[in-house]
């Protein structure tokens, strides 16, 4: 475990954001179809000391850099374009969740853990919101900002390994960590359960890499549909599944959480929705997908299918066209699930 320090490459979470969202929230979109805009005609529109060199000596492949600590375990890049994409993605998810950092009914949490924090925005915002709390955030890459609230600490850590904390937590959180785990249930939820205080909350805010569609406009013949299938298969073959979120609620129950809730938020990909707020979110999500496509695909396809970079870019040409096609009403379903660790004696052993 290595604490982040001045020597870390900064993801600079404070830079100008490309998107601000002007439309009031409409709450969870579960069960509602997003109405398409009829006007669009389908044109493409280290220990607590400093970081050691080894965790910053990023391996290069496909013209990108990847995490050095436990190199090879996570298939997405960690370079500047990826950090910028993560911040864009964070802003859009934040707006889609109507600015909710969490949905669990927290009561003055003292210890908070953010697993696989990325550029660390969530952890920093939680540190600001709960100045009395201590926020710990982990990641394989030291891509977090250096200047953070004094109650926020980042650690370079592989959270798929056994967690060794000196205290229990009151709240543990993950957001968009698909592709990070061989088993979200065993490596994250089970360990979270064991590392929570009784009455503490776990919350998952997770979305699949493949797209959903309610009106049949995303068809099996589309390159985007095929890409979703191929990405799901390749990620399973390399033991880092990227499609798993529909099972999260059941995983909470089998691990032993109680008071389990789920909300599903639909983030449209593209400007196809009629609703102005969703159209704006969709524009941002489309940009997020376009800028992430190569990074999502390279390591997965190369390791699983042996396909090389040039061939992958050729394959992605039609996928990019579909992402830009307003006739395809694709969206990402973000499942927010939260549950509580029971108090002793609260759940009878049967
Ligand atoms: C898509 S990013 C999401 C980051 C952040 N939660 C957010 O919402 O912006 C996934 C992050 O998980 C990290 N990660 C992947 N595998 C991990 C592991 N085994 N332990 C800790 N972090 C991991 C990656 O380095 C990456 O920063």
The full DSSP string for 147-162 is ---TTEEEEE--TTS-
Residue 52 pLDDT level (bands cut at 50, 70, 90): confident
Distance separating alpha carbons of residues 348 and 350, to the nearest angstrom = 6
- Of the chain, the percentage scoring pLDDT greater than 90 comes to 82
How would DSSP label each residue in 59-106?
Answer: -EETTEE---TTTTSS-S--SHHHHHHHHHHHHHHHHHTTT-S--S--
What span, in angstroms and rounded, lies between the C-alpha atoms of 185 and 208? 15
Is residue 146 in a domain? yes
What atom in ligand 1 is closest to the CA of residue 143? 27
Helix, strand, coil shares, percent, the chain, to 5: 30, 20, 50
Which atom belonging to ligand 1 lies closest to the Cα atom of 116?
Answer: 22
The alpha helices in 104-222, defined as continuous H runs, are 121-129, 191-194
Does ligand 1 lie within 6 Å of residue 205's CB atom? Answer: no
220 Cα–ligand 1 center, Å: 30
Tell me, yes or no, whether 119 lies in a domain.
yes
Q: How much is the pLDDT for 47?
A: 43
Give CA–CA dist 19/227, Å, rounded: 27
Domain of 263 in residue numbering reads as 2-7+15-340
Average pLDDT over all residues of the chain? 89
Alpha helix positions (H), 195-346: 223-237, 248-255, 276-305, 309-323
State mean pLDDT over 143-172.
96
The answer to the question of residue 348 being in a domain is: no
For residue range 273-290, list pLDDT tens digits in order. Answer: 999 999 999 999 999 999
What pLDDT is stored for residue 37 in this prediction?
Answer: 66
Please enumerate in sequence order all residues whose Cβ is within 8 A of that of 100, keeping only pairs 6 or more positions apart, or say none.
Answer: none
Q: Where residue 34 falls among pLDDT bands split at 50, 70, 90?
A: confident
Assess whether the C-beta atom of 138 lies below 6 angstroms from ligand 1: yes
pLDDT at position 350: 52
At 306, which CATH number? 3.40.50.150
Integer Cα distance of 300 and 12 in angstroms: 28
CB-ligand 1 contact for 184 (6 Å cutoff): no
Task: Give the count of domains, the chain.
Answer: 1
Mean pLDDT, residues 189-215: 97
pLDDT of residue 53: 72
Over residues 73-117, the pLDDT tens digits come to 999 999 999 999 999 999 999 999 999 999 999 999 999 999 999
**pLDDT(185) > 80:** yes
Number of residues written out for the chain: 350
30, pLDDT greater than 90: no
**Could you identify the atom of ligand 1 that is nearest to the CA of residue 161?**
19
What is the pTM (predicted TM-score) of this model?
A: 0.88
- Ligand 1 lined by 86 (C-beta under 6 Å): yes
Cβ of 133 less than 6 Å from ligand 1: no
Ligand 1 near 85 CB (within 6 A): no
Which protein residue has the closest C-alpha to ligand 1 atom 15?
180
Residue to mutate (ligand 1; options 92, 140, 207; most atoms within 8 A of CB): 140
* Atom of ligand 1 lying closest to residue 87 CA: 9
Q: Is the pLDDT of residue 18 over 60?
A: no
Report how far ligand 1's centroid is from the alpha carbon of 177 (Å). 5
Average pLDDT of the residues in 311-319:
98
Q: Band of the pLDDT at 247, cuts 50, 70, 90?
A: very high
**Domain annotation covers residue 335:** yes
Mutate which of 68, 116, 192, 245 for ligand 1 pocket (most atoms within 8 A of beta carbon): 116
Band of pLDDT at residue 31, cut at 50, 70 and 90? low
| % of the chain at pLDDT higher than 70 | 86
Q: Which pLDDT does position 6 carry in this prediction?
A: 33
Asked, for residue 345, whether it belongs to a domain, the answer is: no
Task: Please report whether residue 350 resides in a domain.
Answer: no
**pLDDT at residue 19 is higher than 80:** no
Q: What is the reported pLDDT for 233?
A: 97
Q: Which of 66, 72, 74 has most ligand 1 atoms within 8 Å of its beta carbon, as the pocket-test mutant? A: 74
Q: What's the pLDDT score for residue 22? A: 57
CA distances from 53 to 7, 19, 127, 142, 254 (A): 9, 35, 28, 11, 41
pLDDT confidence of residue 120: 97
Q: Assess if residue 347 is contained within a domain.
A: no
Concatenated DSSP letters of 243-262: --GGGHHHHHHHHT-EEEEE
Residue 207 gets which letter from DSSP?
A: E
- pLDDT at residue 35, as a whole number: 79
Q: Does residue 31 belong to any structural domain of this protein? A: yes
């Amino acid at each position: 475990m290595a604490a982040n320090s001045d020597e870390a490459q900064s993801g600079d979470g404070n830079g100008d954001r490309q998107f601000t969202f002007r439309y009031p929230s409409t709450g969870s979109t579960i069960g509602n179809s997003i109405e398409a805009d009829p006007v669009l005609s389908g044109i493409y529109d280290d220990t607590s000391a400093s970081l050691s060199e080894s965790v910053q000596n990023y391996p290069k492949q496909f013209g990108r850099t990847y995490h050095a600590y436990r190199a090879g375990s996570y298939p997405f890049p960690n370079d500047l374009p990826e950090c910028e994409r993560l911040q864009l993605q964070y802003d859009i998810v934040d707006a889609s969740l109507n600015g909710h950092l969490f949905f669990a009914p927290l009561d003055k949490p003292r210890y908070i853990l953010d697993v696989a924090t990325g550029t660390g925005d969530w952890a920093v915002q939680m540190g600001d919101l709960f100045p009395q709390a201590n926020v710990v955030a982990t990641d394989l890459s030291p891509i977090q900002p250096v200047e953070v609230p004094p109650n926020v600490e980042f650690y370079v850590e592989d959270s798929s390994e056994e967690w060794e904390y000196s205290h229990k937590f009151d709240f543990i959180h993950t957001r968009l960590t698909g592709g990070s785990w061989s088993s979200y249930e065993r490596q994250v939820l089970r360990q979270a359960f064991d590392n929570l205080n009784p009455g503490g909350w776990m919350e998952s805010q997770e979305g699949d890499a493949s797209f959903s569609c309610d009106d049949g406009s995303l068809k099996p013949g589309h390159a985007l549909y095929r890409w979703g299938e191929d990405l799901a298969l390749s990620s399973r073959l390399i033991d880092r599944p990227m499609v798993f979120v529909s099972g999260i609620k059941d995983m909470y129950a089998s691990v032993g959480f109680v008071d389990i809730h789920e909300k599903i938020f639909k983030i449209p990909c593209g400007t196809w929705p009629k609703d102005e707020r969703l159209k704006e979110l969709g524009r941002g999500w489309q940009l997020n997908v376009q800028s992430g496509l190569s990074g999502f695909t390279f390591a997965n396809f190369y390791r699983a299918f042996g396909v090389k970079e040039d061939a992958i870019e050729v394959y992605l040409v039609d996928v990019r066209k579909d992402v830009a096609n307003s006739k395809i009403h694709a969206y990402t379903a973000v499942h927010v699930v939260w549950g509580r660790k029971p108090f002793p004696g609260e759940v009878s052993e049967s």
